[in-house]
Structure formats: C-alpha cells, structure tokens
Amino acid sequence: MRTMSSVAAATVVSVVTVFAPSGASATPVVNAVPLIPLTSPIETVVEFSHPVRLDSLAATLADLNVTPTSFSHITKEGTVGGGVSHGMPLSTVVKEYRESYHRVVDQSEPKIWRVSLLGAAPSVTARSLRDDAASVTRSSPRLTNSTFAVPTAPVTPNVNPSQGSPPAPPPPPADAPKVWSPENGRVVTRNESADPRTGRLIENTLTWANQASIDFFGPRAYEHDFKLFNRENFSPEYAGVGTRPVCVPGQGEDFWADRNMVFFDTSFPAEIKPYFDTTALDGCGTRDFTVGIYHPKLLKPGVTYNIKVLPRSGVEDKSPYTLTAQILQKLSDDCDNNTFCVGVIPGGDKQPLIGVTKGVAPECRQWTKGRDSALC
C-alpha cells in the first residue's frame, strides 16, 4: 500500500459517517412533528489539520479503491471552495476538478482540506488517512443509525385565564424583508463553452448590510438556495411527482445544467466553512445548485461575497430558476462537517430573492431583499 508522505503528515481532525434519511413514507410523527429516521450510510467525511495536495490524495484514494463524493479546497488567500461528483471514476473527477480549479482560481495544484468518501469507509481507509486514531483532536457531531429526537413547538407564555389568550399577530408577507437576509446581490447564469464538461456558470454575489443582520444568525446556518426547474414542472400532471434520489428515467434530467460533476469556488474565508448542499429529498422537478455556510455569524457587513458554481451542461437551452435566502437550524453549534445536520429540525426561515416566474437561465439578474428583481 502507498505510504502517504504529504497526506500522513496532515492529521485528521474529524471523521464522521453520514447516514441518509429514509423515504417520507417511513417518517414517524411525534406530537405532530416529523422525526427523521436515518438508515444506510452514504458517505464518510474526513477533515485534515492542514491541506494536502490533490495529486497525493488522489493516488492514495486510488490505492484504497475508494470513491470520493466531494473535495473541499483552500486557496492561497484562505478562501474555500470544492466540488461534488456522482457515479464518476476517480480519474475523471480529479482531472475535471483540477481543470476547473485552474480556470477559476490559479494554476497551482489544488490543496484539499476535506474529502467525502462514498459509503462507510472501511477501517483500512481511516487508518491510511491519518497518523493514528489518537490524532483525532476534535469531537465531531456524529449522525448514527437512529432516529433524531427533534424539539416540539415552543411553549406559549403564561396568560391570566381571566384575560384570555392574546390574539396571534398576523404573519408577515413571505417576501417581507428579513433582518438576517443579505441585503442585495446579483446572479449571472451563463453558457461558458461548447464543452459540456465546462459548459455552464452560475455566479452569485451577495452582501449583508450591517452587523445586526449577521448577529441574528447565532449558531444557525445559511444557504443561498439556487434551484433550476425543469420544463415540465408547471404542468398539473407533473408537479410534485417524485423525490430524489428516486426519479423516473428522464424526470430528473431536463435542466439547463447538470449535477453529475460540479466545481464551486467562493470568497468565503475558511472559518465560515461553505458547503455544497445535498439534493436528498428534493423534488425531481428541481435541480439544486445551493451553496451554504455553517458559520454565517462570522461574516462581515459591507463585504461583497462571491460564489461561482461550474456545472456540466444540461440537456436544455434554458431553465426557470429561483433564488431564496434561508436560515436553518443545526443539530448543534459545532455541526460543520456534513449537510445532514442542517435543516433537519424546525425553526428556519426563508427570504425570496428571485421568484421562479422571474428568473430564466441563462441571464443576469439583480435583486434586493423585499423588492422585485430586475435584469442587469
């Protein structure tokens, strides 16, 4: 077996096995709040104490015959991006990841600080990707083969019975400005090249106006939720049919961009920990290209952040899309190593930024929260 000089020198700071939620039909309900049963392991997430070169890590993974589902890189400037793949050979994933990195970042060999492996990694893999078990320095929130216990609704404040219950305030409009939402930004969706491997670009810019909007996050996560809709999605006989990963042939592929291999890069610093969202339990009529951040409380006001997503070309020339800001509860404050610990308990909120009846990729569109978006 290959000895990993550069990989072995980087101790592993966390290893977590992620279990997938089962289908909705099997989801139990307690006190009218659904619980999320977790069944088969879908990936093992490994984080290193300092970055390792992609070529060295790829050689080790090839020796171990382990399939990566994602990489996360860190640039010379300390910003973070990554990539996801689905059912593609390791050699193809590494080649396309490196090519995209060279296009978007620089010509150096990508430095990887996190890798996700398909399934529950065997013990030999864990041993090969760290010096020894004693090198694990941080306890990671672990998802186990069990059912989450989620909190019930908040307790209603005590009220004098003689006065009766106070009337509930009317809910704010769905598009009313939310204090935690980014203030404004832009989306550029563009056909990049005739090469289907690098054919699309989705570029987001976003800015938070003040410190109060950032402080509101506390321990919660943020997702810049960008979804394409397929051309059949609005027909009554099609809408709402199917949930990923179980889609009928052709139902989940009619989009302007494809998700089989996606590279992304951001201007978020490493401590904020951006991630590419999972599509588990998404409807088959949508294709998700959402980037989230585990620690939005570390954002800076007045800074324009950038997210670039480079997916493969889809089969369609255009697709409607929607952009939504989301604040999401996490299982714990230090949950920052897998997407299945985000958004599985209630308490989140949404801010529409670009409605599905407005956005059509490819185009350039500007938005300000609480207002209609407009073409650039």
Structural domains for the chain: 5-135 (no CATH), 184-375 (2.60.40)
The structure tokens 């065997």 sit at: 122
Q: Where are the beta strands (DSSP E) in 155-314?
A: 184-191, 200-207, 221-229, 257-269, 274-276, 286-288, 291-293, 304-313
pLDDT at res. 230: 78
Residue 332 structure tokens = 């714990």
| pLDDT one-digit tens code per residue, 147-160 | 222 223 333 333 34
| pLDDT one-digit tens code per residue, 79-129 | 999 998 887 889 999 999 999 999 999 999 999 988 887 766 555 455 566
pLDDT at res. 233: 53
Contact 376, 243 (CB under 8 A): no
CB neighbour list of residue 29: distance below 8 Å, 6 or more residues apart = 35
Q: What is the DSSP string of 184-227?
A: EEEEEEEE--S-GGG-EEEEEEEE---HHHHHTTTT-EEEEEEE
ω into residue 245 within 30 of 0, thus cis?
A: yes
pLDDT at res. 175: 62
Cα–chain-centroid distance for residue 288? 9
DSSP letter for 273, please: -
What does the pLDDT average to over 55-83?
A: 88
The residue among 116 and 132 whose pLDDT is bigger is 116
Contact 246, 252 (CB under 8 A): no
Contact 170, 191 (CB under 8 A): no
pLDDT at res. 216: 96
Highest mean pLDDT among 27-31, 117-121, 190-194, 211-215 belongs to 211-215
